[in-house]
Protein backbone atom coordinates (compact mmCIF):
# COMPACT_ATOMS: atom_id res chain seq x y z
CA UNK A 1 0.00 0.00 0.00
CA UNK A 2 1.27 3.49 -0.79
CA UNK A 3 0.22 5.00 2.56
CA UNK A 4 2.69 4.80 5.44
CA UNK A 5 1.06 2.97 8.32
CA UNK A 6 2.35 3.01 11.88
CA UNK A 7 -0.72 1.98 13.91
CA UNK A 8 -3.20 0.38 11.52
CA UNK A 9 -2.86 -2.83 9.56
CA UNK A 10 -3.52 -2.71 5.82
CA UNK A 11 -6.76 -4.65 6.42
CA UNK A 12 -7.94 -2.06 8.97
CA UNK A 13 -7.06 0.78 6.60
CA UNK A 14 -8.98 -0.82 3.72
CA UNK A 15 -11.96 -1.34 6.02
CA UNK A 16 -11.94 2.35 7.02
CA UNK A 17 -11.54 3.60 3.46
CA UNK A 18 -14.67 1.69 2.40
CA UNK A 19 -16.84 3.37 5.07
CA UNK A 20 -18.63 6.68 5.47
CA UNK A 21 -18.46 8.23 8.97
CA UNK A 22 -22.12 9.21 8.65
CA UNK A 23 -23.19 5.82 7.27
CA UNK A 24 -25.52 3.37 8.95
CA UNK A 25 -24.07 -0.05 9.70
CA UNK A 26 -25.10 -3.20 11.52
CA UNK A 27 -23.75 -3.87 15.00
CA UNK A 28 -20.75 -6.02 13.98
CA UNK A 29 -19.48 -3.44 11.48
CA UNK A 30 -20.01 -0.57 13.94
CA UNK A 31 -18.09 -2.45 16.65
CA UNK A 32 -15.16 -3.06 14.31
CA UNK A 33 -15.30 0.61 13.31
CA UNK A 34 -15.15 1.76 16.91
CA UNK A 35 -12.27 -0.56 17.86
CA UNK A 36 -10.19 0.72 14.96
CA UNK A 37 -10.97 4.36 15.81
CA UNK A 38 -10.21 3.68 19.48
CA UNK A 39 -6.90 2.02 18.52
CA UNK A 40 -5.92 5.12 16.54
CA UNK A 41 -7.09 7.42 19.32
CA UNK A 42 -5.10 5.59 22.02
CA UNK A 43 -1.99 5.56 19.81
CA UNK A 44 -2.45 8.98 18.20
CA UNK A 45 1.11 10.03 19.16
CA UNK A 46 2.47 7.20 17.01
CA UNK A 47 0.03 7.65 14.10
CA UNK A 48 1.38 8.62 10.72
CA UNK A 49 0.13 11.83 9.14
CA UNK A 50 -2.36 9.82 7.05
CA UNK A 51 -3.66 7.91 10.07
CA UNK A 52 -4.17 11.17 11.98
CA UNK A 53 -6.26 12.47 9.06
CA UNK A 54 -8.37 9.30 9.18
CA UNK A 55 -8.81 9.65 12.94
CA UNK A 56 -9.97 13.24 12.54
CA UNK A 57 -12.45 12.17 9.87
CA UNK A 58 -13.93 9.28 11.90
CA UNK A 59 -13.72 10.43 15.53
CA UNK A 60 -16.91 12.46 15.14
CA UNK A 61 -18.94 9.36 14.23
CA UNK A 62 -22.29 9.15 15.92
CA UNK A 63 -22.65 5.56 17.12
CA UNK A 64 -26.27 5.87 18.07
CA UNK A 65 -28.02 4.55 21.13
CA UNK A 66 -27.70 0.97 22.39
CA UNK A 67 -30.31 -0.44 24.76
CA UNK A 68 -28.38 -3.37 26.27
CA UNK A 69 -29.76 -6.88 26.83
CA UNK A 70 -30.34 -6.39 30.57
CA UNK A 71 -31.93 -2.95 30.24
CA UNK A 72 -35.60 -2.30 30.95
CA UNK A 73 -36.62 1.16 29.72
CA UNK A 74 -39.91 2.75 30.79
CA UNK A 75 -39.38 6.39 29.72
CA UNK A 76 -39.91 7.66 26.13
CA UNK A 77 -36.74 7.50 24.02
CA UNK A 78 -35.53 9.70 21.17
CA UNK A 79 -32.39 9.01 19.11
CA UNK A 80 -31.09 11.20 16.30
CA UNK A 81 -29.48 8.59 14.05
CA UNK A 82 -29.39 4.95 15.10
CA UNK A 83 -30.87 2.87 17.90
CA UNK A 84 -30.20 -0.78 18.64
CA UNK A 85 -32.50 -2.53 21.09
CA UNK A 86 -31.18 -5.66 22.80
CA UNK A 87 -33.29 -5.31 25.97
CA UNK A 88 -36.90 -4.50 26.89
CA UNK A 89 -38.45 -1.13 26.03
CA UNK A 90 -41.98 -0.41 27.29
CA UNK A 91 -42.57 3.07 25.85
CA UNK A 92 -42.78 4.94 22.57
CA UNK A 93 -39.56 5.28 20.60
CA UNK A 94 -38.52 7.91 18.07
CA UNK A 95 -35.47 7.30 15.88
CA UNK A 96 -34.79 9.76 13.11
CA UNK A 97 -32.82 7.33 10.98
CA UNK A 98 -32.64 3.61 11.78
CA UNK A 99 -33.95 1.19 14.44
CA UNK A 100 -32.59 -2.33 14.85
CA UNK A 101 -34.34 -4.72 17.24
CA UNK A 102 -31.97 -7.65 17.85
CA UNK A 103 -33.17 -11.22 18.57
CA UNK A 104 -33.08 -10.48 22.32
CA UNK A 105 -34.80 -7.10 21.91
CA UNK A 106 -38.43 -6.38 22.70
CA UNK A 107 -40.43 -3.18 22.26
CA UNK A 108 -43.87 -2.79 23.83
CA UNK A 109 -45.00 0.57 22.52
CA UNK A 110 -45.30 2.66 19.37
CA UNK A 111 -42.30 3.29 17.13
CA UNK A 112 -41.49 6.20 14.80
CA UNK A 113 -38.36 5.64 12.67
CA UNK A 114 -36.79 6.18 9.29
CA UNK A 115 -36.27 2.42 8.80
CA UNK A 116 -36.83 -0.60 11.04
CA UNK A 117 -35.12 -3.98 11.06
CA UNK A 118 -36.79 -6.42 13.43
CA UNK A 119 -35.13 -9.65 14.56
CA UNK A 120 -36.78 -9.53 17.99
CA UNK A 121 -40.32 -8.53 18.94
CA UNK A 122 -42.33 -5.32 18.54
CA UNK A 123 -45.84 -4.99 19.97
CA UNK A 124 -47.43 -1.71 18.93
CA UNK A 125 -47.75 0.57 15.93
CA UNK A 126 -44.67 0.96 13.74
CA UNK A 127 -44.41 4.14 11.63
CA UNK A 128 -41.42 3.97 9.24
CA UNK A 129 -40.69 6.62 6.62
CA UNK A 130 -38.64 4.28 4.42
CA UNK A 131 -39.02 0.58 5.22
CA UNK A 132 -39.75 -2.17 7.71
CA UNK A 133 -37.95 -5.49 7.43
CA UNK A 134 -38.87 -8.46 9.63
CA UNK A 135 -36.05 -11.00 9.58
CA UNK A 136 -36.32 -14.72 10.46
CA UNK A 137 -37.33 -15.03 14.11
CA UNK A 138 -38.60 -11.45 14.19
CA UNK A 139 -42.18 -10.70 15.28
CA UNK A 140 -44.33 -7.62 14.85
CA UNK A 141 -47.75 -7.61 16.48
CA UNK A 142 -49.65 -4.47 15.55
CA UNK A 143 -50.09 -1.93 12.81
CA UNK A 144 -47.28 -1.07 10.38
CA UNK A 145 -47.33 2.22 8.45
CA UNK A 146 -44.56 2.26 5.81
CA UNK A 147 -44.08 2.46 2.03
CA UNK A 148 -42.06 -0.80 2.05
CA UNK A 149 -42.59 -3.95 4.13
CA UNK A 150 -40.47 -7.10 3.82
CA UNK A 151 -41.34 -10.21 5.81
CA UNK A 152 -38.72 -12.95 5.55
CA UNK A 153 -39.47 -16.65 5.72
CA UNK A 154 -39.49 -17.60 9.40
CA UNK A 155 -40.65 -14.12 10.46
CA UNK A 156 -44.07 -13.35 11.95
CA UNK A 157 -46.40 -10.41 11.32
CA UNK A 158 -49.85 -10.19 12.89
CA UNK A 159 -51.60 -6.92 12.27
CA UNK A 160 -52.53 -4.42 9.63
CA UNK A 161 -50.19 -2.75 7.15
CA UNK A 162 -50.76 0.69 5.63
CA UNK A 163 -48.47 1.14 2.65
CA UNK A 164 -48.50 4.79 1.69
CA UNK A 165 -45.89 7.02 0.09
CA UNK A 166 -45.75 9.55 2.93
CA UNK A 167 -46.24 7.91 6.34
CA UNK A 168 -45.92 9.88 9.56
CA UNK A 169 -42.34 11.30 9.57
CA UNK A 170 -39.77 9.82 11.99
CA UNK A 171 -39.31 13.25 13.55
CA UNK A 172 -42.96 13.42 14.61
CA UNK A 173 -44.47 11.88 17.72
CA UNK A 174 -48.17 12.43 18.27
Please report, rounded to a whole number, the percentage of residues in the chain having pLDDT higher than 90: 47
Q: Provide the domain count of the chain.
A: 2
* The pLDDT of residue 1 is above 50: no
- SS3 assignment, position 145: strand
Q: How confident is the model at residue 81 (pLDDT cuts 50, 70, 90)?
A: confident
Rg of the chain taking only CA atoms, in angstroms:
19
> Is 169 inside a domain boundary?
no
Note whether residue 39 is domain-resident.
Answer: yes
Q: Angle at CA 154, nearest 5°, toward 162 and 105?
A: 75
39-53, 82-96, 141-155 — which one is most confidently predicted on average?
Answer: 141-155
Domain match, 74 and 137 both: yes
Structural domain including 124 reads 65-162
pLDDT, tens digit, 9 for 90 and up, residues 89-128: 998 999 988 899 999 999 999 999 999 999 999 999 999 9
Element (H, E) at 103: none
In a domain, 132, yes or no: yes
pLDDT band at 171 (very low <50, low <70, confident <90, very high): low
CB distance 55 to 40 below 8 Å: yes
pTM of the model: 0.66
Do 70 and 17 share a structural domain?
no
In this structure, the answer to whether residues 79 and 139 fall within a common structural domain is yes
Q: Within this chain, do residues 155 and 71 fall inside the same structural domain, yes or no?
A: yes
Together in a domain, 99 and 49: no
What is the distance, to the nearest Å, from the Cα of residue 35 to the centroid of all Cα atoms in its chain? 17
Q: Does 145 lie in the same domain as 74?
A: yes
Please write the tens of the pLDDT for every residue from 154-163.
999 999 999 9
Partners of 162 in beta bridges: 145
Domain annotation covers residue 22: yes
User: Does residue 71 carry a pLDDT above 90?
Assistant: no
In this structure, the answer to whether residues 153 and 86 fall within a common structural domain is yes
54 with 99, same domain: the answer is: no
pLDDT at 172 over 90: no
In the predicted model, what is the mean pLDDT of residues 74-98?
86
Are residues 158 and 81 part of one domain?
yes
* DSSP-assigned beta bridge partners for residue 12: none
Which residues, in sequence order, are bridge partners of residue 123?
A: 108, 141
Indicate if 145 and 83 belong to the same structural domain.
yes
Q: How confident is the model at residue 33 (pLDDT cuts 50, 70, 90)?
A: confident
Indicate if the pLDDT at residue 41 is higher than 60: yes
Helix (H) or strand (E) holding 136: none
Q: Report how far residue 48's alpha carbon sits from residue 24's, in angstroms, rounded to the nearest whole number.
A: 27
Distance CA 93, CA 32 (A): 27
Q: Is residue 170 part of a domain?
A: no
* Contact status, residue 138 vs residue 158, Cβ threshold 8 Å: no
Amino acid sequence: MFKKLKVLSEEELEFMLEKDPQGVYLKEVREKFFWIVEKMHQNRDQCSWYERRLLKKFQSMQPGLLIGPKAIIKNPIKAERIMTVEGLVKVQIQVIHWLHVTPSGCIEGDVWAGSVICEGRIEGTVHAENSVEILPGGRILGEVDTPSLQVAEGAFFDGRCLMQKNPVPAGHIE
